[in-house]
Amino acid sequence: MGYRRRATTAVALGAVAAITVAGCGGGGGDEKADSKPSAAAGAPATTSGAGSSAAPSATPTQILAQIKGEKDIEVTINSAVRDSGGFVTVQGMLTNNGTRIFNADDWVGNETELAPSGASVAGAVLVDEAGKKRYYVLRDTDGKCLCTMKLLSIQPQETRPFFAQFPAPPAATTQVDFSLPTMPPAKITISEG
């Protein structure tokens, strides 16, 4: 019981550190990178528990890429920041330009382990073509993605923020493809936090 309590405390402290670092930031192979962080790895605090919706800033000022997909959904990537803890946090906005309510059920991906993340961007992938590696969204100790969840009932013309946290590619890698299920990939540039 004491071990679990210490592990939970370590995760919570790591989450606070990750939020602090992420808040200071600016602006295809088959190999799978390690997608499970250690207990001390941490993530934005809004990623675990019910009601998690997003951690990105409210007023993005930069556009790294825009992706237009089926059902008139548009994804705008505003930042991809590498922090000193070995993570890359991608933040952006999704807009429903269609005439029907959108649920991001298909964006969770095919892994059954990610099913608890529900309608989310858990299926997002960063692809380092030069290094021939894929980087999958990190997970917390409960198996939920370190990303925006509860992307449900997005009304026509509504815009919502999202984020997803990945293991960082090597420091020399600054360009990767960001990919979501059902959406075309987009090249983005990773900046240093």
Tokens of 54: 């997003």
According to the model, what pLDDT value does residue 109 have?
Answer: 84
**Residue 18 belongs to what H/E stretch?**
helix 2-23
What are the tens digits of pLDDT across the range 38-92? 333 333 433 333 334 444 544 567 999 999 998 899 999 999 999 989 999 999 9
* Mean pLDDT within 105-126: 89
pLDDT band at 110 (very low <50, low <70, confident <90, very high): confident
- Beta strand pairing status for 133-136 and 31-32? parallel
According to the model, what pLDDT value does residue 115 have?
Answer: 81
Whether the Cβ atoms of residue 165 and residue 135 lie closer than 8 Å to each other: no
Other residues' Cβ atoms within 10 Å of the Cβ of residue 138: 25
- Beta strand pairing status for 159-167 and 133-136? unpaired
pTM over 0.85: no
Tokens of 132: 């021939």
CATH fold of the domain at 2-192 = Immunoglobulin-like (2.60.40)
Domain ranges across the chain = 2-192
What are the tens digits of pLDDT across the range 126-176? 999 999 999 999 999 888 999 999 999 999 999 999 999 999 999 999 999
Cα–Cα distances (Å) from 173 to 132, 163, 189, in that order, read 11, 20, 9
